[in-house]
Amino acid sequence: MIRLEDVTLFVRAAALGSFSNAAREVDLLPGQVSAAVHRLERSLDKRLFVRSTRSLRLTAEGEKYLPFAQEMLAVVQAGAESLHSGDDDIQGELRMAVPSDIGRNVLLPLITRFCEQHPKVSLRLSLSDQISNVFRDPVDIAIRYGALDNSSYVALPLAEDNRRVLAASPAYLAKQGRPQTLDDITRHHCLLFTMNSHVYDKWSFGRGDARRQLIVKSRMLCDDADVARRWAIDGMGIVYKSWIDISEDVQAGRLEVLLPQYPGEAAPLNLICPHRKQFSPAIRQLHSTLREHLCATTALLNTLPIFHST
C-alpha cells in the first residue's frame, strides 16, 4: 500500500535535492524522510534516488515516476478543495514562476490586482530568468517565452504574436548615431543578458531564406534581463528584447525601435503547467486576465513596420 505522505516527501526531496531540506520543511528528522522514501521504493519495487554523502539525485525510474507522483498529489488536493467550495470558486494556493523583466514591469500590477479581486487566493511568486522545471520545482505554473520544446507540458498561449525588437534611447542615438543596417549593429554598444545561465548573444532577424543572425559582443553583461532594459534607457547601448518588455518605454519615448523593417525573432509567451488537471479555476481566470492585456500590447506591433521586409 502506497502512503500519500511518503509520496509527498518523495516529491519534496526531489525538488529540494536533499532529505535534510525536505525534513526541515515539514519539521521531521532526515531519517524519517529517508525511511518514507525507502517504503515507497519497496512498494514500487524500484529505486527512486541515487544517494551519496554529498548528493541526492533521481534515478531514471525516479524521473519517470515524479510527474505521476505530482499529479497524484494535485488530484488529492483538488478533491479536498472541492469539498469546501463550489467548482467555480477562485481560491487556493498558486505558485508561479515568471521571467524577471515582464514579471516586475508588466505582469506584477495585473497579478496584484487579481489577488485583490480574489482574496481566497494565496500567491507564491518567483521572479527569475532561470527556467523553472515545472515537474521538479515547487511551482504550479510558469510563464515562459519561446516555442515549447517539451510536448509533455500543457500550454495556454498568452501572446503568440510577440516578437523581439532592437531599441535604444534617444540620448544614445544622438551620441552614437542611428544604425542604418543590421551590419551596423555589431559596431555599436550592445547590451547582453543571460538566459538560464547562457549568454543571449545571437540575435536573429528575418524569416526563411532571408534569415540573418548577428553574433554581438558587449562590455556589459547581466543575469537579469530587466537590468539590460534599464541600461538601454540610461543610454548605455542597444538592446534586443521582447516587444512586451519594452512597449511602454517606446510609447513613453524612453526608447526608440531601430530597424523596424527587419522582423525580429518570434518570442511567443505561454502559460505552462505540467498537467491539464492542474488548471484550476484560479489559473484559468488568471490566464484570461493576463491574455487580454498582453494581446492588446502585441497588437501595437501592427502600428510599426516590423513585419515588412526590405
- In the chain, the largest separation of any two C-alpha atoms, in whole Å, equals 72
For range 251-280, the mean pLDDT: 85
* Residue 132 pLDDT greater than 80, yes or no: no
Tell me the pLDDT tens digit for each residue of 73-90: 877 876 666 665 554 578
pLDDT of 248 > 90? The answer is yes
- Residue 92 is predicted with a pLDDT of 83
The whole-number pLDDT of residue 309 equals 39
Sheet strand arrangement including 121-127: 121-127, 92-98, 141-145, 269-273, 154-159
CA dihedral 175, 176, 181, 185 (to 10 degrees): -130
- pLDDT range class, residue 307, cuts 50, 70, 90: very low
- For 16-175, where are the E strands, in sequence order? 49-51, 56-58, 92-98, 121-127, 141-145, 154-159, 164-168
From 3.10.20.90, 1.10.10.10, 3.90.1150.10, 1.20.210.10, which CATH number describes the 4-82 domain?
A: 1.10.10.10
CATH superfamily to which 92-160+268-302 belongs: Periplasmic binding protein-like II (3.40.190.10)
Best-predicted range by mean pLDDT among 47-56, 70-79, 135-144, 170-179? 170-179
Asked if pLDDT for residue 175 goes beyond 80, the answer is: yes
Q: Where in the chain is the domain with CATH 3.40.190.10?
A: 92-160+268-302, 164-267
The answer, yes or no, to whether residue 184 has pLDDT greater than 80, is yes
Query: What are the start and end residues of each CATH 1.10.10.10 domain in the chain?
Result: 4-82
Burial class (CB in 10 A: 0-12, 13-18, 19+), 183: exposed
- The predicted pLDDT at position 77 comes to 73
CATH number of 164-267: 3.40.190.10
* Mean pLDDT of the chain, nearest integer: 86
Q: How many CB atoms lie within 10 A of CB 47?
A: 15
Instruction: Give the highest mean pLDDT range of 6-20, 206-220, 271-285.
Output: 6-20
Interhelix angle 108-117/281-299, rounded to 10 degrees, is 140
pLDDT > 90? residue 210: no
Classified as helix, coil or strand, 309 is coil
pLDDT in tens, 52-77: 777 888 999 998 898 888 878 877 87
Rg of the chain over CA atoms, in angstroms?
23
The three-state secondary structure class of 3 is coil
**CA 164, CA 208: separation in Å to the nearest integer?**
17
Taking the C-alpha atoms of residue 225 and residue 22, their distance in angstroms, rounded to an integer, is 32
